[in-house]
Amino acid sequence: MKTNMQIKTLPMLGPEPMEMALHINGHVSTLLLDPRTSLLDALREHLNLSGTKKGCDQGTCGACTVWVDKRRVLACLTLAITCQGHEVTTIEGLAGETELHPMQRAFLSHDAFQCGYCTPGQIMSAVALLEEGHATNDAEIAEWMSGNICRCAAYPNIRAAIREVRDAKGGSSHEAD
């Protein structure tokens, strides 16, 4: 039995890739990306900036926290295309050329990580919460860091690191930490 079967080519699904210029850690990178590409995937898969971690990929764990114009954002929920014309800072852009950021040093000295997976997002949030003025006491630190989950439960050490940097900057505590 002979059949006459024709194979049809289906059209490409989804939008055409778009060229976008992203300002990442003080440098401009021009990428050709699907407009639905998340900032997280652009950083990790297209720019090889692997410091920002993919945890839940649903915006609930905070492992992908970066800054856009010095404000905390979840890179997994942010489309890369929306970051054009804005400055994105990742954990790789936090430190200077030869020296760690004070928060990175404090995390090391207080052993504020165990597995280390959440650490980049924790550090990015910790620096931001100090800039936002949300570190007057442990309860406030815990509240403003609540979007960053540490499965290893290093929270007391994370708070100690934040207090160290806060106190070094001349911050104060309203209650005993």
* DSSP string over 86-102: SEEE-GGGTS-SSS--H
Domains in the chain: boundaries: 18-93, 102-168
Paired tokens of 148: 């960053």
Q: Which CATH number fits domain 102-168: 1.10.357.10, 3.40.50.450, 1.20.1250.20, 1.10.150.120?
A: 1.10.150.120
Q: Which residues, at least 6 apart from 25, have a Cβ–Cβ distance to it below 8 Å?
A: 49, 88, 89, 90, 92, 93
What is the rounded distance in angstroms from the CA atom of residue 121 to the CA atom of residue 141?
Answer: 15
CA 115 to chain centre: 17
Rounded to two decimals, what is the model's pTM? 0.88
pLDDT tens for the chain, 177 residues long, are 666 667 766 666 778 999 999 999 999 999 999 999 999 999 999 999 999 999 999 999 999 999 999 999 999 999 999 999 999 999 999 998 899 999 999 999 999 988 999 999 999 999 999 999 999 999 999 999 999 999 999 999 999 999 999 999 986 554 444
- CATH code assigned to 18-93: 3.10.20.30
What is the rounded distance in angstroms from the CA atom of residue 37 to the CA atom of residue 42?
Answer: 7
> DSSP assignment, residue 13?
P
What is the rounded distance in angstroms from the CA atom of residue 139 to the CA atom of residue 96?
Answer: 31
